[in-house]
């Protein structure tokens, strides 16, 4: 009998046994999986083989509360945004302030000029009151005398110009002829035809702008009215600042928040001392410039030496730019009236005096009270001139000097306030300034010596 059927039986029995073992192993694995992951419902259990057959999916996002969006923004971006919107608010505030100032520009300039004049005249009032003169008469006498001197200076310049206008015009015409002859003989190869063409172009330009010149002349009446109004405002503001400045300053302090009042009360006298030092020093330096340049051009036989000296004095109140403009005016007058040699000598005199002023007089007279970097002076004068013309150029530098003093004091004051009480007894004088001596420091800056 063949042995093949026996072999087939043993093979079938082995396969059956192997199948049973695989089923047992599968049952154990499913049991372990059921113990670790319990399905939420029967449908999840039914779908388990299908899910096992499909690729693994990304776990779902947590259903808890989302984080704050600000935490998702980088720190640098948040700092830039915070600084940006604050800068926008400050820029908007400055823009609104400038619009308000431009709307009442005459009043603002009159008050600022009154502050400068008060800083110049206040020492005289203080000196008179110390000698027993009542404050009212001392104020009136000082203010009237000061404005009379300023008026006499203006009258003298106008009188000198009107008296010498004919002689000056003849000298200018002669100087132009001399300059024309010099150009014809110069190595620049200028021809008579070119000079006549330049003169013709000037006449045509004047004729084309005749309407504008006429309208400017008509607007001159309005300018005169505004100038007279400004002079009256300056006069009355100066009177009240000299006489009643203490109460004006105390009233202003009441408008300041109580937390910032001690700092402002201490910064006011320091700002006033800076302004007073600036005005006194500028007047003294301008007077020295006018005297020495005036003496120089007088001995050089330049016409109207005294009116030119007065112009130099007035223009010296505009730092850097005023000295250059007044010196250039003196050189031009010397050139068209006395010739090239006198003009060169006038330029030498102007430059010599200005060098002495910049390196000796200003550091010695002004000192550290109103020290401002020359670059800051140039930029400030340029910005003030662009915003408000000559008046803006005049008040720009003292405004920057006062602001520099106030900011420096407030920074030091804040450090003194934040200093711990156990570190140093320096907090006591600060508190004393705020409460005890604030009554002295809170006096009107116009009353500070």
Q: How far is 185 from 392, CA to CA, in rounded Å?
A: 45
pLDDT digits (tens, 9 = 90+) for 102-157: 888 888 888 888 888 888 888 888 888 888 888 888 888 888 888 888 888 778 77
Which of 59-63, 249-253, 402-406 is predicted least confidently? 59-63
Q: Is 373 left (phi over 0), alpha (psi -120 to 50) or beta?
A: beta
pTM for the structure as a whole: 0.63
Please name which of 132, 395, 141 lies closest in space to residue 243, comparing C-alpha atoms: 141
Question: In whole angstroms, how far apart are CA 281 and each of 8, 145, 248, 297, 352?
Answer: 128, 20, 26, 24, 19
The pLDDT, as a whole number, for residue 35 is 63
The pLDDT, as a whole number, for residue 425 is 47
Please name which of 330, 279, 2, 309 lies closest in space to residue 124, comparing C-alpha atoms: 279
Checking if the pLDDT of 89 tops 90, the result is yes
Which percentage of the chain shows pLDDT scores above 70?
A: 68
Which of 44-58, 85-99, 173-187, 321-335 is predicted least confidently? 44-58
The pLDDT, as a whole number, for residue 51 is 45
Contacts of 112 (CB under 8 A, 6+ apart): 395
Please name which of 244, 224, 223, 220 lies closest in space to residue 114, comparing C-alpha atoms: 244
Average pLDDT over the chain, rounded to an integer: 74
pLDDT band at 45 (very low <50, low <70, confident <90, very high): very low
Q: Got the DSSP string for 381-424?
A: HHHHHHHHHHHHHHHHHHHHHHHHHHHHHHHHHHHHHHS-TTT-
Q: How far is 46 from 418, CA to CA, in rounded Å?
A: 72
Length of the chain in residues, anyone? Answer: 449
Checking if the pLDDT of 97 tops 70, the result is yes
Could you report how far apart the first and last alpha carbons of the chain are, in Å? 144
3-state secondary structure of 221: helix
Q: CB–CB of 141/148 below 8 Å?
A: no
Which percentage of the chain shows pLDDT scores above 90?
A: 2
The pLDDT, as a whole number, for residue 354 is 81
Q: Give the position of tokens 């000296």.
A: 309
Q: Give the position of tokens 């049952």.
A: 27
Following CA atoms 306, 307, 313, 319 in sequence, which dihedral angle do they give, to the nearest 10 degrees? -130
């Amino acid at each position: 009998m063949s042995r093949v059927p026996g072999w087939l039986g043993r093979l079938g029995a082995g396969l059956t046994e192997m199948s049973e073992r695989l089923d047992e192993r599968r049952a154990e694995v499913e049991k372990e999986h059921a113990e670790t992951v319990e399905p939420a419902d029967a449908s999840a259990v039914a779908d388990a083989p299908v899910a096992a057959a499909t690729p693994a999916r990304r776990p779902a996002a947590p259903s808890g509360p989302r984080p704050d969006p600000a935490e998702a923004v980088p720190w640098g971006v948040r700092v830039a945004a915070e600084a940006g919107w604050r800068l926008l608010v400050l820029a908007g505030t400055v823009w609104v302030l400038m619009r308000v100032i431009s709307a009442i520009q005459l009043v603002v300039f009159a008050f600022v000029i009154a502050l400068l004049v008060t800083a110049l005249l206040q020492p005289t009032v203080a000196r008179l009151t110390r000698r027993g003169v009542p404050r009212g008469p001392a104020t009136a006498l000082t203010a009237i005398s000061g404005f009379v001197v300023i008026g006499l200076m203006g009258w003298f310049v106008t009188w000198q110009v009107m008296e010498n206008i004919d002689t000056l015009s003849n000298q200018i015409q002669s100087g132009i002829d001399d300059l024309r002859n010099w150009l014809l003989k110069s190595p620049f190869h200028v021809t008579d035809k070119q000079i006549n063409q330049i003169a013709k172009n000037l006449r045509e330009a004047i004729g084309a702008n005749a309407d504008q010149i006429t309208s400017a002349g008509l607007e001159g009446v309005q300018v005169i009215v505004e100038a007279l109004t400004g002079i009256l405002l300056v006069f009355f503001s100066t009177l009240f600042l000299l006489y009643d400045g203490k109460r004006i300053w105390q009233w202003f302090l009441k408008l300041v928040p109580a937390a910032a009042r001690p700092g402002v009360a201490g910064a006011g006298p320091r700002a006033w001392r800076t302004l007073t030092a600036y005005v006194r020093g500028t007047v003294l330096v301008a007077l020295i410039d006018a005297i020495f340049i005036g003496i120089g051009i007088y001995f050089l036989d330049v016409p109207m030496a005294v009116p030119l000296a007065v112009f130099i004095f007035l223009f010296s109140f505009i730092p850097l730019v005023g000295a250059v403009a007044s010196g250039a005016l003196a050189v031009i007058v010397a050139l068209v009236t006395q010739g090239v040699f006198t003009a060169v000598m006038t330029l030498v005199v102007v430059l010599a005096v200005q060098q002495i002023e910049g390196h000796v007089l200003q550091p010695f007279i002004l000192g550290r009270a109103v020290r401002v970097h020359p670059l800051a002076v140039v930029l400030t004068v340029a910005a003030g001139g662009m915003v408000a013309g000559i008046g803006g150029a005049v008040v720009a530098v003292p405004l920057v000097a006062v602001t520099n003093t106030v900011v420096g004091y407030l920074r030091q004051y804040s450090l003194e306030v934040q200093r711990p009480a156990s570190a140093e007894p320096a907090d006591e004088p600060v508190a004393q300034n705020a409460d005890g001596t604030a009554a002295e420091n809170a006096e009107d800056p116009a009353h500070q010596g």
